[in-house]
Amino acid sequence: MIFEGLADKLQQTFRKLRGRGRLTEADVVEAMREVRMALLEADVNYKVVKDFVARVKERAIGQDVLESLTPAQHVVKIVNEELTALMGGTQSRIAVANNPPTVIMLVGLQGAGKTTTAGKLANLLLQQNRRPLLAAADVYRPAAIKQLQVLGEKLDIPVYSDEESKNPVRISQEAVHTAIMKGRDVVIVDTAGRLHINEELMAELQNIKQSIRPHEILLVVDAMTGQDAVTVAEHFDGQLGVDGIILTKLDGDARGGAALSIKAVTGKPIKFAGMGEKLDALEPFHPDRLASRILGMGDVLSLIEKAEQSLDLEKAQDMEKKMLRAEFTFEEFLEQLRQVRKLGPLDQLLGMLPGMGNLKKMPGMEVNDKEMKRVEAIILSMTKKERRNPQLIDGSRRRRIAKGSGTQVQDVNRLLKQFVEVKKMMKQLQSMQKSGKKGKFKLPFMR
């Protein structure tokens, strides 16, 4: 889960706080000491931590908070608000030119992930019915141009490059001209990675900026960066004027120091976050949602959006009908399984449900992708006939299925049993709908 370490520590602190009915000033001070440690261990910038803790303390120790009926709740609310504010409040979008093409320039240190991000950003814009063009202005790193070309090919997006030229300013200008000629409405310029203290290379970026007048200069930052993140961002912003940040490698287990510090220090919003190696793994950044995920309050909005994007609505409705008619067979089961997997890795999904982030740590509750794959393998090892009519599956068929899927007979048995349970539930649901009465249907865990 995103920012797991920080989330764990903060939630632990607040659970302790909730355990007490009334809060004294000393309780708040102690909790804030723990928050400070958690933030520092998460690589949040030293000064940002200092200010943050001071602000929360000041607000939390105020009269009405400590004397309210649920003081701990209030403290968490304040922390949530301040965390959100640290990361910039609400989502920031990228600027669009009145007169296309919109020119976007990606800058940053070596290895931050600029080239990969250029590909992902192009893909995201493509989804929004834009027509991007990629520009290969990294003339230094071996095979950087080739890398962008490969990405362009995969996405079927034109890439402007000139392997003869060692002049990134010229290349950028030519790319913009090409975009105009070809009617592309966005140009994404991939520049070479450089140190923020390298004057010569920083001057080169200034020259590119002057010659193509980009609408957006986005600084690409590795989410695992330590205390130096702020220095780097300040330098790039000071010399170039940055419009926003793209955080990469957020699918690692970074605790979020860069995410929590950069906006606070530079005032520049984080606009996108890289969430994986695949080209569709770039997401708009929502500070408010992230803050509540860190505090274990879930992020149902993102989950719904994900579902809307990845699930096939028609199929879902069709499935619902079949389920209600109790025509639910292993074929539908398999289809459903695949739909859920389309939503992304399970642990990422769980982190979006309130209070569910800790679920996977409970024994016996390891909902992992491996398990789902195993179930899929078992179903795929059944014949079509067996899938439609599971009663057929006798002892010797079970052994064959286990063998075919590389599992044990017990695994097959368990799945068959679960399937019967699900069907039973469907029947209940069906009779409930028929009788038109609500509330008759009871889930096993309801009283």
Residue 237 sits in the site that holds another protein (CB under 8 A): no
Q: CB of residue 139 vs another protein: minimum separation in angstroms? A: 13
Please identify, among the stretches 138-146, 166-174, 330-338, 405-413, the one whose residues bind another protein according to the rule CB under 8 A: 138-146
User: Which 272-301 positions form the footprint of another protein (CB under 8 A)?
Assistant: 277
Q: CB of residue 224 vs another protein: minimum separation in angstroms? A: 4
User: Which 139-168 positions form the footprint of another protein (CB under 8 A)?
Assistant: 140-144, 146-147, 149-151, 154
Neighbours of 412 (CB within 10 A): 24
Q: CB of residue 338 vs another protein: minimum separation in angstroms? A: 18
What 3-state class would DSSP assign to 248? Answer: strand
From residue 411, give the alpha-carbon distance in Å to each of 383, 399, 414: 17, 10, 5
CA dihedral 264, 270, 275, 280 (to 10 degrees): 180
Q: Which is nearer to another protein, 171 or 176 (CB)?
A: 171
Give the contact letters, 331-370, x = binds to another protein (CB under 8 A), - = no. ----------------------------------------
Supply 71's token pair: 């003081």
Q: Which is nearer to another protein, 29 or 197 (CB)?
A: 197
Q: Which is nearer to another protein, 195 or 422 (CB)?
A: 195
Q: Which is nearer to another protein, 88 or 113 (CB)?
A: 113
Q: CB of residue 348 vs another protein: minimum separation in angstroms? A: 11
Burial readout 106-120 (b: 16 or more C-beta within 10 A, e: otherwise) = bbbbeebbbbbbbbb
Burial readout 146-173 (b: 16 or more C-beta within 10 A, e: otherwise) = ebbbebbeebebbbbbbeeeeebbebbe
Q: CB of residue 396 vs another protein: minimum separation in angstroms? A: 34
Q: CB of residue 249 vs another protein: minimum separation in angstroms? A: 6
Q: CB of residue 261 vs another protein: minimum separation in angstroms? A: 10
Q: Which is nearer to another protein, 176 or 230 (CB)?
A: 230
Phi/psi zone of residue 409: left (φ > 0), alpha (ψ -120 to 50 degrees), beta? alpha
Could you say which of 9, 74, 184, 255 contacts another protein (CB under 8 A)?
255
What 3-state class would DSSP assign to 296? Answer: coil
Task: Compute the distance between CA of residue 275 and CA of residue 254 in angstroms, rounded to an integer.
Answer: 12
Q: Which is nearer to another protein, 83 or 229 (CB)?
A: 229
Q: Which is nearer to another protein, 48 or 72 (CB)?
A: 48
Q: How many residues bind another protein (CB under 8 A)?
A: 44
From residue 8, give the alpha-carbon distance in Å to each of 260, 294, 351, 355: 16, 8, 12, 12
C-beta separation of 221 from 247 below 8 A: yes
Q: CB of residue 175 vs another protein: minimum separation in angstroms? A: 19
Could you say which of 89, 226, 284, 404 contacts another protein (CB under 8 A)?
226
Task: Compute the distance between CA of residue 358 and CA of residue 356 in angstroms, rounded to an integer.
Answer: 5
Nearest to 233 by CA among 267, 188, 271: 267
Task: State the amino acid at position 225 in one-letter form.
Answer: T
User: Which 400-429 positions form the footprint of another protein (CB under 8 A)?
Assistant: none
Neighbours of 128 (CB within 10 A): 8
Could you say which of 58, 67, 163, 253 contacts another protein (CB under 8 A)?
253
Q: CB of residue 318 vs another protein: minimum separation in angstroms? A: 32
Task: Compute the distance between CA of residue 415 and CA of residue 96 in angstroms, rounded to an integer.
Answer: 52
User: Which 94-113 positions form the footprint of another protein (CB under 8 A)?
Assistant: 109-113
Give the contact letters, 184-223, x = binds to another protein (CB under 8 A), - = no. -----------xxx------------------------x-
C-beta separation of 229 from 221 below 8 A: yes
Give the contact letters, 21-60, x = binds to another protein (CB under 8 A), - = no. ----------------x--xxxx--x--------------
From residue 366, give the alpha-carbon distance in Å to each of 293, 299, 370: 20, 21, 10
Binding site for another protein (CB under 8 A): 37, 40-43, 46, 109-113, 116, 119, 140-144, 146-147, 149-151, 154, 195-197, 222, 224-229, 231-232, 249, 251-255, 257, 277
